[in-house]
Amino acid sequence: MTIFFALIGKLLPLYLFIVAGYALGVLLHLKRRPVAVLLLYILSPIVVLEGGWTAPVSRGTLALPLLFLVICSVLCGCFYLVSAFVWKRGDTMRNLAAFASADGNSGYFGIPAGLALFGPQSLGIIVLCSLGFLLYECSVGFFTLARGNFTIRESLRKAIALPLLYAFGLGMAANIWHLQEPAVLVAVFRDVRSAYSVMGMLLIGISLAGERLSAVDGRLLAFTTVAKTIVWPGLMLFLIALDRHVLHIFGNDVHGVILLMGMVPLAVNTVVYSSVLKVHPERAAVAVMVSTLLALPFIPLLSAFFPA
């Protein structure tokens, strides 16, 4: 119960921002696409730039973002193949289901949940894992989602045009060259990080506002729920066991964060990307909302599996 109430205290504001976004969407008729474009092309690159610049760099730590980039990319391909048994060939829901199921809310949800579970010393590890999810989103994930409405060439062109990869590369270069962040940028990064979280959760509420029951897709909810409550935790437990008994790469502190990354809900950026690419953003918003609600009791329920 201690973990549950700690998570409630950390995550309640995020749920309140979803409610606020819904109210703004209903009362002021705000549209989700402008918010999504702002997040994707302005706020996200700045957050990624800071992440690459400030992350502790070593051979071991660099393995974490690469690990989750590979995991997310492989799962995306697997989920896309499995989705053929749920949706017909050519149905863009397959692209959305694959993209969403292979991703996770490692930032908005994972950071406050990790701080509540493991303390402030876990922040650097969580950020590094989050970078892996972000790299997946703006590469393999974006391409997969774009293929729902665009050709291979058009999808590649859109993925290459995303500023996130370039922002990450710039941040990592500054990090490796040991460049100090100017004081003015430190303040900018802090403010943008806060705005990024707030805008991301508001977007879910705005997307839900005005949607009809047709936005509730039972097959998508079932597909993503199985992915996030069975496939992801099971895979993370397997990888932790493999590392403990065979590889011996990471310690218990990293193992705990890795398991948490397998329990976080669907990524808010699912709504961002699906809005920009016009791939069922209303259904994506419902799925993200349901997954976020389920995650709150789900993580404390499985807290016994966290490495000691």
Rg of the Cα atoms in the chain: 18
pLDDT for position 3: 65
Torsional class of 306: left (φ above 0), alpha (ψ -120 to 50), beta (otherwise): beta
What's the domain range around 75? 2-305
CATH number at residue 85: 1.20.1530
pTM, to two decimals: 0.87
For residue 51, what pLDDT band results from cuts at 50, 70 and 90? confident
How many structural domains comprise the chain? 1
CB 94 within 8 A of CB 81: no
Residue 303 has pLDDT above 70, yes or no: no
Residue 246 has pLDDT above 80, yes or no: yes
CB 261 within 8 A of CB 299: no
Residue 302 has pLDDT above 70, yes or no: no
Q: Is the pLDDT higher at 40 or at 77? A: 77
Q: Which of 283, 275, 268, 262 is nearest to 17 (CA)?
A: 268
Give dist(CA 37, CA 216) in Å, integer. Answer: 24
Residue 308 has pLDDT above 60, yes or no: no
pLDDT digits (tens, 9 = 90+) for 71-87: 999 999 999 999 999 99
pLDDT digits (tens, 9 = 90+) for 176-219: 898 888 888 888 888 888 888 888 888 888 888 866 656 688 99
